[in-house]
Chain A
Amino acid sequence: MAEKHHIRVRLNGVDKEADVEPRLLLVHFIRDVAGQTGTHLGCDTTNCGACTVLLDGRPIKSCTFFAVQADGREIMTVEGLIHDGKLHPIQEGFRQEHGLQCGFCTPGMMMSALALLEKNPEPTEEEIRWGISGNLCRCTGYQNIVKAVQYAAAKMHEGVLV
């Protein structure tokens, strides 16, 4: 076992410090060290996107990213979406439009969708489909996920989220 490294990661607005093996994957740091299990692990090879989190605001797949690489940086996961007890429009959209079934891909899918909307607040259907194309869903056939993102885009546009 290699020497452990001390890292400090700002996770959903709270500093989390730990001594970790250099090989520890970020997804395991988030789930097992920080105990936030909303981020899932689906494929190990960066294909499915269930482990998608935002690193300094940009989506990454945390199953192929080492925890030590996140030292001193900011991570946002599904647990960080809720604000003052109020659901984020992207969360509302997934529920309103039936954008989820088993729920396993949902956290990663929402993080990718959020990153898309922050870059492109009024995406077309095709842009949404490309924007979430790094995230696999086996249940919904994506159609209602597209609607969920459109719902969130409209809501965010209205400025409901301050």
Chain B
Amino acid sequence: MIQTTSPEIGGMGHAVKRKEDARFIQGKGNYVDDVHLPGMVFGHVVRSPYGHARLKSIHIDEAMKVPGALAVITGADLAAAGLAWMPTLFHDKQMVLATGKVLFQAQEVAFCVATEQYAAADMAELVEVEYDELPVLVDPHKALDPDAPILREDREEKSNHIFHWEVGDKQGTQQAIQGSPVTARVDAVFQRCHPAPLETCGCVADFNPVTSKLTIWLTSQAPHAHRTLFSIVGGIPEQNIRVISPDIGGGFGNKVPIYPGYVCAVVASLKLGRPVKWIETRSENLQSTGFARDYHMTAEIAADRDGTVKALRVKTLADHGAFNAAAQPSKFPAGLFSICTGSYDFPKAFCEVDGVYTNKAPGGIAYRCSFRVTEAAYLIERAMDVLAHQLKMDPAELRLKNFIPSDKFPYQCPLGWTYDSGNYAAAMNLALKMAGYQDLRKEQAEKRKKGELMGIGISSFTEIVGAGPGHTFDIAGIKMFDSCEIRIHPTGKAIARLGTKSQGQGHETTFPQIIAQELGIPQQDIVLEEGDTDTAPYGLGTYASRSTPVAGAATAMAARKIRDKARKIAAHLLEVSEEDLDWEPGKFFVKGAPSKAKTIQEIAFAAYTNLPEGMEAGLEAVHYYDPPNLTFPFGTYICVVDIDKGTGEVKVRRFIAVDDCGNIINPMIVEGQIHGGLTEGLAIAFMQLISYDESGNVQGGNFMDYLLPTAVETPHWETGKTCTPSPHHPIGAKGVGESPNVGSPAAFVNAVVDALSHLGVTHIDMPIAPWKVWQILREKGIT
């Protein structure tokens, strides 16, 4: 149990108002596009209009006539410097600027630099590129056909196949399925979509020829890792690179990779000796930077007639686009997809994934999720509903029957993960109660009699977050630890710096609360900084819900190191032995004599003024935390929908979300994260889609075609919580930012399918646009 601190201290559990808000509500945030440097010039990318074409020639003469034109950089220029290609985050490489051919629409072909932003865009219009069109491959199912065009001529292997990966007991699972009285199967596509944070990607690269120092203001969720990669790839000594990730206007995984535009801006700054700003347009963001999902999945469950599950088999085709730029640091090609047995006690399981290249934008980033856990959670929660439907069992009852029992934790799942803690039935029972589930089912039955369409969808997901551990997760070999450095000033105030980077999660507020909890220093006396690689300790960044599980742990551990030293100083000041002291947040006191005490502020002052003999001055600590395991947040979501028979429109009437993320640092912020994640889940279930036509043209390349929910489509979220702390985390926290986005898509889809289940509908692929439902209703003769 976490000891409750006073509101003045504001440790864990207090709904402290956010410190960062003061600047944001006054328009004084400092996003990358707000950076303005003397002599700064502007870059604009020339992009391919074709999905697959050979590059014949590039003519820059007309572009260079634009007033203010400074340079056009092409792939050939980069090739001369050995920079035409760069490594991706997953054992592949990608073109920075095209050489030879282009492999997806909107691929980077040239980079124009001018003194004014509009002039750089004018230049891009005037760069003449000649192409020879090549056959386009957009359907991943055709990627391995003998007549499919081979996309990657640069690879030794002349095939569009990237990887095959399998895990689990293949034979045992097959036998279980063959001998099973009941098997349920679902074929589900988790569509290609894009995180689309409201701020696009961009940078200001500033190479100072006098000092040889390169400073890059970057929309980066991982500034330290990016500094190292810039150093390794660009051959620039790492001490001469400073990456500053200022305020970030939303990330959701979009700002984990290094994009060609960043590299071009750096090259242009090195060439010109001036600061170069490059900011994406929205279309560039949606068409070329890290997409998510594009998993084409099949799940088969073997079960007894009473609904007890026996085995799960999953087969998936993963469309990675033109380059395998999956931003995932695990040792597994499909990341954490093997969490696909979810919350259920499957004796046997087998999972296999094949990755292929197509003429689409590269990526495979973890969009508000931990490296494919969203796909996994969606698949198993869909499959459980299909099984329930087949057995004519209530989906809640089926889940309750098959949950991993709370006394089986830590639980070893058949695909290799060790779940830290869980109490799935408790979360589900609370959600059922909040929803008034039995009454909803009665209402649904009555409505069906009247021909009205109402559905109830359940998702009881398990997440897997908080990468490391370092033995399984790394970026370019750098283990996925994270860090915190705390310095206590003589007056008892403090500064803390972390290796992570908030993009709206409220780190400036929550991490000081952890320190307040551990040291009793009021949270408002603690300043938190992150995102500047020259000042913050090295860390791997913020994504995959890893800040609290990893950097949060580092923060607690660093604070505990300080407390250990503070105890020694307190013993010295009180002239007792350390063993005679007790601690309560904010002070050490003599056992049995609470009036004989030294506050943390008095101790801090003494750390600089009155130390025990032989002790070093100062009161500070740094901790690098490599977690022993991942954390496994979970929850149950219940969605209620009504469907308009005339239009096919789905209205989400209610949505109940019970989350269990272990111990909570700031309940206000946790709730805000859940609201936001659910809304992105709603968007994925009903709206967001990046598709391609047969010629490789992106459909959904701007906000007119790539639909996002407004306040009107977004329902009122009803939230609840249970608390099952992580046993291995120093403060028992698990992380929460992604749970709602991971767990909710299945709840929405299950609700729509449930509304139509009496018509024989067992599955509808996302996004469930009104036209899809309308078409089904017409096919079923419902008007």
Contact = CB atoms under 8 A, between A and B. Distances in A.
Asked if A and B are interacting partners, one says yes
Interface of A: 1, 21, 23-24, 28, 31-32, 35-45, 47-48, 50, 77-79, 81-82, 87, 91, 94-96, 98, 100-107, 110, 128-130, 132-146
Interface string B12-44: 000001101111111111010110100000000
B27 A79 contact: yes
Given A132-B711, A143-B716, A37 B252 contact: no
A21 to B, nearest CB: 7
Contact of B26 (A82, A138, A145): A82
Interface stretch (B193-201, B410-418, B767-775): B193-201
A140 B28 CA distance: 20
B81 interface: no
Contacts of B712: 129-130, 133
Contacts of A78: 25-27
Interface of B: 17-18, 20-29, 31, 33-34, 36, 67, 117-119, 196-200, 247-250, 252, 281-283, 503-506, 668-669, 671-673, 675-680, 702-704, 708, 710-712, 714, 716-717
A62 to B, nearest CB: 13
Contacts of B119: 1
Nearest to A77: B27
A146 B26 contact: no
A106 B282 contact: no
Contact of A47 (B31, B281, B703): B703
Given A44-B281, A101-B676, A138 B17 contact: no
B199 A102 contact: yes
Contacts of A28: 117
- Chain B contact residues, majority secondary structure: loop
B714 to A, nearest CB: 5
Contacts of B117: 28, 32
10 contacts: A1-B67, A38-B29, A40-B198, A42-B282, A47-B702, A48-B282, A98-B18, A101-B676, A104-B197, A143-B675
A16 to B, nearest CB: 16
Contacts of B710: 129, 132-136, 142
A81 B283 CA distance: 31
A26 B650 CA distance: 38
Given A42-B198, A48-B703, A140-B675, A100 B118 contact: no
Given A101-B506, A102-B197, A138-B250, A40 B21 contact: no
A126 to B, nearest CB: 8
Contact of B249 (A37, A94, A102, A129): A102
B198 A21 contact: no
Given A38-B29, A100-B24, A106-B25, 13 more contacts: A24-B118, A31-B34, A45-B702, A77-B27, A101-B676, A102-B248, A103-B249, A128-B711, A130-B712, A136-B703, A136-B708, A142-B714, A143-B675
B748 to A, nearest CB: 14
Contact of B27 (A39, A95, A142): A39
B281 A141 contact: no
